[in-house]
Amino acid sequence: MKKHNYSAGPCILPQEVFEKAAQAVLNFKDSGLSILEISHRSADFVSVMEEARALALELLGLEGKGYQALFLQGGASLEFLRIPQNLMHENGKAAYLDTGTWANGAIKEARAFGETIVVASSNDANYTFIPKDYSIPSDANYFHCTSNNTIFGTQMKSFPKTSIPVVCDMSSDIFSRSLDFSKFDLIYAGAQKNMGPAGTTLVVIKEELLGKTSRNIPNILNYQQHIAKESMYNTPPVFAVYTSLLTLQWLKAKGGIAAIEKENETKAALLYAEIDRNPLFKGAANKEDRSSMNATFLLVDENHKEAFDKIWKALGVTGINGHRSVGGYRASMYNALPLESVQVLVNAMQELEKNI
């Protein structure tokens, strides 16, 4: 039976990426060696890293604009502390928008480095909306936000204008929609949502931002060191980087971000239309802030849970159980999820309605 994978991450990737990555595990570039055993200093892998970094900038429209792309380790969670360490001045401060679990985690790490101002939060409403109309202090060293909140199913549809550097955690919606990425000074994203397997994090940073903190930054945490060593300060996660490259190549072949955005909009519209139409379901997030990547929804009557779970499992749907913070269901519709899979989930919702 075909599986329809809605896992929030690690998550679905394109089938052709799985096939090419699997072949590389057995025999990388007809070398007779596996991608898992070649030297990261070999010409074959150096070319992988160079292409991955260049292609990330190309797809984001940031080529030749003073940005560097890095593939690092430690997940987005390590960037929570690496960002203030590299960007917050000694005796400085930073501004944060609190829109969910991961935004809150970033705030906690930043507080270890200096004054951390929360400009707005939707915590009191269990993060069901994106705060708006807040003020960002002009003397902060940077403003940090999270573009998409995987757990709660909300997404920033616009970003504030400010004179200070803007940092954005795009872990769960990078490469999914068209934005003017030059408005951001630092973007970071764990690969395991829209880009590749767990194990590497993409960091895209405007190089002029660095070297201004007066801090003594350990080399392994210093962005300048990673830029100087071209993402090879230490041994990189070769398989995760290679699979990310394959995914970026797949995206480019499809027509880039603009093309995948249209597909994502169609998928999200189909599912949300059913959530709003079907009297047995309701959305968890405010409509104006709903995520096109992670749709969170609930049964109006939890007594129908057993029946609904039986239906969607029988149809091959997997990974839609909601996070414990929200409950209900979460359908993660990342780039590689086909429209067909969304229709199957909609069919399951309609079948429940017929059976009640």
Query: Distance between CA atoms of 152 and 166, rounded to whole angstroms?
Result: 23
Residue 124 makes CB contacts below 8 A (sequence gap 6+) with: none
Q: Are strands 329-332 and 317-318 parallel, antiparallel or unpaired?
A: unpaired
CA distances from 274 to 134, 151, 295, 349 (A): 33, 20, 12, 8
- Under a CB-based contact definition with an 8 Å cutoff, are residues 10 and 247 in contact? no
d(CA 221, CA 72): 10
Residues catalogued as catalytic: 102, 169, 193
> What is the C-alpha to C-alpha distance for residues 329 and 334, in angstroms, rounded to an integer?
16
Helix (H, G, I), strand (E, B) or coil at 240: helix
Which is it for the CA torsion 304, 306, 310, 313, positive or negative? positive
Contact between residue 328 and residue 299 where contact means Cβ atoms under 8 Å apart: yes
Greatest alpha-carbon pair distance for the chain in Å reads 66
**CA–CA distance, 196 with 336 (Å, rounded to integer):** 11
Find out whether the peptide bond into 10 is cis, omega within 30 degrees of 0.
Answer: yes
Residue with tokens 């892998």: 45
CA atoms within 13 A on the CB side of 344: 22
User: From the DSSP assignment, how many helices (H) and strands (E) are in the chain?
Assistant: 9, 14
Reference 218, options 204, 234, 206, 199; nearest CA is 234
Q: Which residue has the tokens 């951001």?
A: 184
